[in-house]
Amino acid sequence: MKTVFTIAAFCLFAGFAHAGGETPSNPEAKVYFVNLSDGDAVQSPVTVVFGLSGMGVAPAGTEKENTGHHHLLLNRPPIGEGDDGADELAYGLPADDNHMHFGGGQTEVTLDLPPGQHTLQLVLGDAGHVPHNPPIVSEVITITVE
């Protein structure tokens, strides 16, 4: 009886402890900005080049081990933080002006950005746009568009 209770308690705990979706990542994998660093001052349009090591890029919908597609988070709290944090890690990233999907397997984008500060973060998503477990995310960088 005690064992049953322990298993049930573990399942309950696991259900709340969202560390990402169900697709395993290579925990050593890294996603990063190739051509931009925190604090950079740039001119619009801004080209952003996405780097990935330890895993491969595949278009959305591709169920292949250790692959995913890039997402660029623009001017929103770091992944996992804020009101949508748990939902987006468990159920997938929304698609809007603050969450850009590169489901074709693209590895760069050129953005028209208004003058001022902008925060950027890269997140790898699986075939269904859900971050892996553990999530593969870049550092958050702030750039200033002059």
Interaction site with Cu ion (CB under 5 A)? 101, 125, 129
Where does residue 96 fall: left (phi above 0), alpha (psi -120 to 50 degrees), or beta otherwise? Answer: beta
- The residue (of 76 and 101) whose beta carbon lies closer to Cu ion is 101
Residue placing its CB nearer to Cu ion in the complex, 72 or 141: 72
Give me the least distance between CB of 109 and Cu ion, in Å please. Answer: 13
Q: How far is the CB of 125 from Cu ion (least distance, A)?
A: 4
Kindly state the smallest distance separating residue 123's Cβ from Cu ion, in Å.
9
Contact 131, 28 (CB under 8 A): no
Percent helix, strand, coil in the chain, to 5, is 15, 35, 50
Complex with Cu ion: residue 124 or 145, whichever CB lies closer: 124
Q: Nearer to Cu ion by C-beta: 129 or 145?
A: 129
To Cu ion, the closest distance from the beta carbon of 57 in angstroms equals 12
Q: Is 52 exposed, middle or buried (0-12, 13-18, 19+ CB in 10 A)?
A: buried
Question: Minimum Å distance from CB 129 to Cu ion?
Answer: 3
Kind of pairing, strands 46-53 and 108-111?
antiparallel
Coil/strand/helix, residue 10: helix
Residue 123 or residue 141: which is nearer to Cu ion going by CB? 123
